[in-house]
A and B are shown apart, each in its own frame.
Chain A
């Protein structure tokens, strides 16, 4: 019994008794539907239907979608079925409830039933009325759904058919709405999944069997750690917070078996045809072969559709609570009831033991990772016995989502007497329904190739053709693939509507008139005719090739009826496109400038909603047609971020007009996908009209357009924008050979230095405070901590690898640990090491340690530094052995090097110069050891002197720009800018510190201002006098290509933001970037791979690292684009 009363309408279904609609004693109505809102607004449309039939206000209706515990199982929310199919029982239930309330109202008002009206939540008769709530109060009644319940005549609709705003928008626009990503459950912890290396694959014996081991001990004592959970190839780390879970998961050493190479998808046409498939003839009429043979004109064409990402803007997320064996799973799934079954199989429960609560997620338009992550969360919740939330990363979503399937269509056809006489279509669609990843990874289901039968959507052309044969080749996925908006109907229509257009041109007829000649269905003819008329279609008898300078303009037509469900399927709305394109014949760029969509969807529930669906379909599908493609590179199997998968942006939007054909008397048809279906063909046809080029493979990239134009001889081919890179050659070997020849002979004759006895260093407390402060400053000037701290290591405990041309050396432990650090070093031993590069035990240190600079320090500074080091917290950390290229691992060779290059003469003040200059020189050349990075080195690894000193050098993949000579003057460095830079890492408009320089500045920033000023004075004096700063080069226009696209997707939001004044990582215009102007790509490679993590104490910005998501080849493509665009005055980077 419900307090206050409740009247409901239910249906007994296989999954149990399900309520469709109910009303309580306050007049509040709740409707239940098994479908979900994928961003298309069905929640609003369903509320309209219920309010209409029931006679209440829209505001009184709440719609519950997709919770398995409360809503009927109405199958997956696919194929635009909600309004057409799933809403039918709900509509009847609402009508039944309305009829019941009208009867109750009649009784209460003492009125004849036929005269009682229900409206806005009230029953009305003459001047009297009673609210629904009052009719319900005190009654509890559940009525069985009457399947024959009559529903309202559309002519009397008051709410359906009127534009209505989305009901969920106010909460969304204020940040109050709970998306699945916002669900928080008491006691919840966080899982981070670690996916296997076979990203995006779902069949083969290695699935579920590739995990060899992991080292839990490496993370088990770190903060927040709760568990590592593994089953088959399912592996995840659970921690208290999401940040901890991710950090720990990334730190966990995991060993996987290397998967076999993936399918070669570089030639999709070939890959799709070569893979196993099963032909299924959908329709056969007449005698196709004979008709083709007897045709006046015949053609065979093939069309290729690429893999796409669903690309939800929010990566998938789920929360699961094991709840003592009656789990509750919060999910953004498209198919709550199907997920329920999958989850039941995953954990061995009966489906009805599991409740799936559906929340809205980011718009998905097909099968993304929402179901997979629910499986992940449930496995973890069971293992931990606590609610667990799992949020996938962008890379995980991109890599693992079942992609929108690629498709190959082969058409042959013939004309006879100006009519399409024969037509065959063969279509290959490699997809299944995306089995739940957790089921695959844990081995619950076998990883055999499975195929689905979804390649047949709109496979039958709408035209009257005497002889035809339509065949779909069902096949298992080559990579994880499932349905995406328009499913196979979109590519199939690309083929039909391109081919028909081509035949029209062949027949010398107008493409619209030619289509009409073959169309019988009056409703379809009506759509085609009205759309062409309203859109201002210009009749033609062949491509018009309109040109204005280098631009070509054209208009194209295509239409389709979207057919969904099992073949022969059900028709959803029909859409027709007329679109205009502009083609830049020089660069090959195609701009979709205008789209007119005519649509027949029967009864329109919410015109605003329908128009929004049309806009969404147009923009999303234009994006897929013109820009999108999942590329598969040998190393990185798929794009991992938006950087390498660009989608439509605001600055190239087409103008969109739509026309909804009014058919209030016909049943409502689904509109979620229809307007997407004609897109690719319409655009291709417009391109043909503009240029005479037929593009038959999407996406229609500038490269493909240029190739098409070149084939026609229409436009001069441009040089390829990004030439292929050769693999990096290493120069080290040659260098090392040089030093070997020069030094080995002499080396054997040289004595080793003697060892100095161990001697406990004075205690930290024995040093006076001013001495320690001085030592701290020397330490900061020399930035000892930077090199002497390993990544993730204890500060100053050494172990950081220093790559040199001769091999890798590791920095030493500076802390006063007696065994592994400086705790047993006397000052004499320390001083000798600093000045002569000889360790306490007598062995020579490698010249990567810049003792040639430290030799110039004065004695007091040296002692102060020694004292300061003894106050550091001792850390026990042995330093790894150097790995040198022979014969440098004979450390005595270094002794010979010292003889050649070590200048132990102290600096003498230059009386002709200011005190500041002399102090600056002392800091720069002594403790600061700037030349260690900024001076080039000779083949023997010695800093070059003379004019070459401080003339810029590449160190460990970073370019340390010139500090002396004309280069700094040309760049505009002067004393004030240097001073600003040394204190903040940033000289406005000129430079900001990156890579190893950022921590250097963090140290310098702690020096007395006078010292920084002195360094600036000295450094400024090194710049060539009387050289005016060079103008910043103007940006060059670069031929569109992969580098430009990667930049647009990965970099432009910060470096060329559309909205000025944003707080982004970019502090310096790229035209000033030293990395772009460096002699080689090395610095850009380092920057792009590693990003910038600048010390928080400096007013610098951080740049994300792209090393994980972009391949080396892609990084080089960006580097080359940057060079061409921002440093057009320089030659391209040399091939390294």
Chain B
């Protein structure tokens, strides 16, 4: 499809560009805005690697066409630490070593941020449910859950 002017707010900054609005938001973020946080994993909304926040809601950027975010606020992993100070969730993932290869990390952190906004003190079961649509092949699940619990202020028991 032909390109159109697309304007939205990316990580707190208004941006615009000539973009084919039917391209996926993931492709636009990675190609046109040179971001590395959101990752291509499946392109079908099945793994969560591409997660971003759109207007505060978690969204899978691979199945969201760029035209759909016109006028919206989009936050990526990069946008969580705008001034170099880590978001508490990011810090917790370092403290609890919530990654092996880390390819799934983006989706885990973004989902955790959204979860903690909804429920600042989730229990373990809630965290596990909230992350269940995010895939990790390395089996880092336990460390990831511990990271989210740490970020929420709860003490993980492993």
> Does A716 count as interface, using CB distance less than 8 angstroms?
no
Q: What separation, in Å, do the CA atoms of A643 and B101 have in the docked complex?
A: 23
Which chain B residues lie closer than 8 Å to A241 at the CB level?
A: 31
Closest to A190 in B: B31
Which chain B residues lie closer than 8 Å to A1102 at the CB level?
A: 63-65, 68
Q: Within B73-108, which residues are at the interface with A (CB < 8 Å)?
A: 76-78, 80-81, 86, 90, 93-94, 97, 99-106
Which chain A residues lie closer than 8 Å to B144 at the CB level?
A: 650
Main secondary structure of the interface of A (DSSP, over half): loop
Partner-contacting stretch, out of A336-344, A432-440, A1053-1061 = A1053-1061
> Does B13 count as interface, using CB distance less than 8 angstroms?
no
Q: What separation, in Å, do the CA atoms of A173 and B151 have in the docked complex?
A: 14
In the complex with contacts A394-B41, A394-B42, A313-B47 CB distance below 8 A = yes
> Does B115 count as interface, using CB distance less than 8 angstroms?
yes
In the complex with contacts A38-B101, A314-B41, A363-B138 CB distance below 8 A = yes
In the complex with contacts A169-B102, A174-B77, A1050-B46, A313-B58 CB distance below 8 A = no
Number of interface residues of B (CB under 8 A): 76
CB distance from A173 to the nearest CB of B (A): 5
> Does A129 count as interface, using CB distance less than 8 angstroms?
no
Of the candidates A166, A311, A1106, which one forms a contact with B97 in the assembled complex, judged by CB atoms under 8 Å apart? Answer: A166
Which chain A residues lie closer than 8 Å to B140 at the CB level?
A: 612, 615-616
Which chain B residues lie closer than 8 Å to A1061 at the CB level?
A: 57-58, 114, 118
Closest to A651 in B: B132
> Does A39 count as interface, using CB distance less than 8 angstroms?
yes
Which chain A residues lie closer than 8 Å to B47 at the CB level?
A: 313, 642
CB distance from A199 to the nearest CB of B (A): 17
A620 touches B138 (CB 8 A): yes
Q: Within A1049-1079, which residues are at the interface with B (CB < 8 Å)?
A: 1049-1050, 1052-1054, 1057-1065
Partner-contacting stretch, out of A177-185, A213-221, A687-695, A985-993 = A177-185
Which chain B residues lie closer than 8 Å to A1052 at the CB level?
A: 133
B57 touches A1062 (CB 8 A): yes
Q: Within A561-608, which residues are at the interface with B (CB < 8 Å)?
A: 608
A175 touches B141 (CB 8 A): no
Which chain A residues lie closer than 8 Å to B115 at the CB level?
A: 1059
Q: What separation, in Å, do the CA atoms of A40 and B43 have in the docked complex?
A: 26
Chain A interface category by residue count = 35 or more
> Does B131 count as interface, using CB distance less than 8 angstroms?
yes
CB distance from B7 to the nearest CB of A (A): 14
Which chain B residues lie closer than 8 Å to A1057 at the CB level?
A: 133
Q: Within A376-397, which residues are at the interface with B (CB < 8 Å)?
A: 391, 393-394
Of the candidates B22, B37, B138, which one forms a contact with A175 in the assembled complex, judged by CB atoms under 8 Å apart? Answer: B37
Q: What separation, in Å, do the CA atoms of A1058 and B135 have in the docked complex?
A: 13
Main secondary structure of the interface of B (DSSP, over half): loop
Which chain B residues lie closer than 8 Å to A656 at the CB level?
A: 142, 158
Which chain A residues lie closer than 8 Å to B44 at the CB level?
A: 394, 641-643, 1050, 1104, 1106, 1109
A177 touches B23 (CB 8 A): no
CB distance from B39 to the nearest CB of A (A): 6
Q: What separation, in Å, do the CA atoms of A642 and B42 have in the docked complex?
A: 8
Closest to B4 in A: A1096
A1063 touches B64 (CB 8 A): yes
CB distance from B103 to the nearest CB of A (A): 4
> Does A61 count as interface, using CB distance less than 8 angstroms?
no
Of the candidates A166, A175, A608, which one forms a contact with B35 in the assembled complex, judged by CB atoms under 8 Å apart? Answer: A175
CB distance from A799 to the nearest CB of B (A): 19
Of the candidates B137, B142, B143, which one forms a contact with A620 in the assembled complex, judged by CB atoms under 8 Å apart? Answer: B137
In the complex with contacts A174-B86, A174-B90, A1061-B114, A647-B137 CB distance below 8 A = yes
Q: What separation, in Å, do the CA atoms of A647 and B139 have in the docked complex?
A: 10
List residues of chain B with CB under 8 Å of any chain A CB: 20-23, 27, 31, 34-49, 54-55, 57-60, 63-65, 67-68, 76-78, 80-81, 86, 90, 93-94, 97, 99-106, 109, 111, 114-115, 118, 127-145, 158
Enumerate the 10 nearest inter-chain pairs by beta-carbon distance, A residue then B residue, closest first.
A175-B37, A39-B101, A619-B139, A363-B101, A362-B103, A616-B139, A1053-B133, A172-B102, A1063-B59, A1058-B132
List residues of chain A with CB under 8 Å of any chain B CB: 38-41, 165-166, 168-170, 172-179, 181-182, 184, 241-243, 310-315, 360-363, 365, 391, 393-394, 608, 612, 615-620, 623, 641-643, 647-651, 653, 655-657, 1049-1050, 1052-1054, 1057-1065, 1096, 1101-1104, 1106, 1109
Q: Beyond A313-B49, A642-B42, A1053-B45: 17 further Cβ-contacts under 8 Å? A: A169-B102, A175-B35, A175-B36, A175-B37, A175-B76, A181-B39, A313-B39, A314-B41, A363-B103, A394-B44, A615-B140, A619-B142, A643-B44, A1053-B48, A1058-B130, A1063-B59, A1096-B68
Q: List 27 A-B contacts (CB under 8 A).
A: A38-B101, A166-B100, A169-B102, A170-B94, A173-B90, A173-B102, A174-B80, A175-B77, A181-B39, A241-B31, A242-B31, A243-B27, A313-B41, A313-B135, A314-B39, A362-B137, A363-B100, A363-B138, A642-B44, A650-B129, A651-B129, A653-B128, A1059-B118, A1059-B129, A1063-B57, A1096-B67, A1096-B68
